[in-house]
Structure 1
């Protein structure tokens, strides 16, 4: 959900900026691991529904304390816009990621496949008549080459990664990209935090209903490990890291903040290997390196025209998105 965040005067301390940046790097990079742990026991859709509904209530409560209930007001058109974001990002984006990880998608490779979202956004821009520069297009072609390596060569040794799960992750990434592309064109509240509250509430409600309709039952009879992972996703993935990201956009150079987009997948692969012993094969390393390089290339090519914008990742994981003028933007 991206809305413009005004810049502020005064430079914060280097240590504070780096602390916030590390929070975004590690927390958003670790959300894929958190999802994988949750869905080992809990149903994917309803557990993510609980995550987003709880995070929306928590953030809404904080905003109410700081600005009163009036701060949460929105029009019918803004509510529809927030609901559309809830559908594309938390439901079709994060919800499908959770289903794919439940089907066996390794968390690290999932993060690498999701990382192609900014490249898909460029495809949407071209379809609309925009003409990105040669460096941007080169980055997109490079990214899809890395994607082919991951899907065609990397699955065999990536720890039982079924083709269906891989395709579902790519579908989730495409939905996330489409939602991010449409976001600046939707009627949304001026306050990015208010937009975030309603996107998470609508998304959480839709995920919960979809889960129950599909036959899921969230019994609550899960291990402490599952509950801790879910609490981590709620508090740190959906609230703390997003707040740190918004603060960084207001306090640090956008060129520095945007580095999260190609650091998060690296963190995800490392944590998946360290915590869950997910296989990291030569194909995964090669394909992942190509994808990360492609994302860095596209972000670098788009940077000169960029203005800071914000969006909440469906899983708490950020992805570059487009601004109203078609430029690539980071999300939170």
Structure 2
């Protein structure tokens, strides 16, 4: 008798972590940079999270990465974490609200398709439509008062999205370690580079972090970096890729709502229109993934 199909609580929890926890990290970054220098906070976050995850994986018997794998994770850690997350942290420190930062980062799938052309990938008409719609959304976003009030923040946030996208595409061609070990090494590299940049730029702690600042850092380490990433890896194994990456159009809505409720952030008409356009573009880009990746039940689990 075949095993019944199940929708385990672990799967529900993984989606919750991906949607809500990752969506909440933008607010936590904003709270954190009120107490910490931005690059210092991001560097400490990733070095500690990477060390904890690396130590846990080695304790569980995962092999140590080879030198070529360390080099590859260094390149991807620099792009994704030092430039990507570091750029987001600097942008929020420069005055970009957490909700608008999350909305700008939602353009990552658009940049991913564009950079994919450099590596020989070809986009469908539906994906091109998503790219054009997303570019229109970026234009609307830059018309809003939030990014106009912080031109440097606007540049940083779009640079961060582009760096994350390029690193994601390039990573498929590099000899990365298997599973979560790649993320652990990338966090170690990315955090170390951010700490070096913090020291070279002259960042200094002028006073002890507040309780909220410490709480934000701990939250980002344990929940934003370790828990949410583990949930993402779990979902990649058990659901369609489009479902696992659907956080790209859920996180902005979560971040905007949390920013309004807990931080008193204001979202203008232009930003609201930009949200609708960008999320629509990401949905268009994701549709071909849903069509190409059927899911079949195997031993009671959902596998791609």
Whether the TM-score (by the shorter chain) exceeds 0.5 is: yes
**Which residue, 251, 257, 271 being the options, matches 1:284?**
271
2:80 corresponds to: 89
Displacement after TM superposition at 1:240 (Å) = 0.8
Separation (CA, whole Å) in 1 of partners of 2:239 and 2:165: 25
- List structure 1 segments (4+ residues) > 6 angstroms apart after TM superposition: none
User: Is the 1:56–1:200 contact (alpha carbons within 8 Å) kept by the matching residues of 2?
Assistant: yes
2:44 corresponds to: 50
Is 1:31 the counterpart of 2:1? The answer is no
2:57 corresponds to: 63
Separation (CA, whole Å) in 1 of partners of 2:83 and 2:58: 29
Separation (CA, whole Å) in 2 of partners of 1:197 and 1:258: 20
Separation (CA, whole Å) in 1 of partners of 2:75 and 2:294: 24
Q: Residue 159 and residue 142 in structure 1: after superposition, are their counterparts in 2 closer, same or farther (change >3 A)?
A: closer
Q: Deviations over 1:233-271 (max 9, x none)?
A: 000000111112222222334443332221111111111
Separation (CA, whole Å) in 2 of partners of 1:277 and 1:165: 19
Q: Residue 43 and residue 198 in structure 1: after superposition, are their counterparts in 2 closer, same or farther (change >3 A)?
A: same
Separation (CA, whole Å) in 2 of partners of 1:235 and 1:10: 34
Separation (CA, whole Å) in 1 of partners of 2:129 and 2:180: 35
Is 1:295 the counterpart of 2:282? The answer is yes
1:246 corresponds to: 233
- Matched residue count: 293
Q: Residue 307 and residue 234 in structure 1: after superposition, are their counterparts in 2 closer, same or farther (change >3 A)?
A: farther
2:172 corresponds to: 184
Displacement after TM superposition at 1:219 (Å) = 6.1
1:144 corresponds to: 135
Matched residue of 1:55: which SS?
A: helix
User: Is the 1:262–1:295 contact (alpha carbons within 8 Å) kept by the matching residues of 2?
Assistant: yes
User: Is the 2:136–2:277 contact (alpha carbons within 8 Å) kept by the matching residues of 1?
Assistant: yes
Q: TM-score, normalised by structure 1?
A: 0.83
Separation (CA, whole Å) in 2 of partners of 1:113 and 1:107: 10
Q: Residue 51 and residue 220 in structure 1: after superposition, are their counterparts in 2 closer, same or farther (change >3 A)?
A: farther
More helix by share: 2
Q: Residue 282 and residue 172 in structure 1: after superposition, are their counterparts in 2 closer, same or farther (change >3 A)?
A: same
1:134 corresponds to: 125
Q: Which runs of 5+ in 1 are unaligned?
A: 1-8, 309-332
Q: Deviations over 1:3-46 (max 9, x none)?
A: xxxxxx98553433222211210000111111111111210001
Q: Residue 259 and residue 78 in structure 1: after superposition, are their counterparts in 2 closer, same or farther (change >3 A)?
A: same
Q: Which runs of 5+ in 2 are unaligned?
A: 296-304
Separation (CA, whole Å) in 2 of partners of 1:36 and 1:159: 15
Separation (CA, whole Å) in 1 of partners of 2:156 and 2:67: 32
Q: Residue 72 and residue 43 in structure 1: after superposition, are their counterparts in 2 closer, same or farther (change >3 A)?
A: farther
Q: Residue 164 and residue 306 in structure 1: after superposition, are their counterparts in 2 closer, same or farther (change >3 A)?
A: farther
User: Is the 2:240–2:293 contact (alpha carbons within 8 Å) kept by the matching residues of 1?
Assistant: no
Q: TM-score, normalised by structure 2?
A: 0.90
Displacement after TM superposition at 1:304 (Å) = 3.4
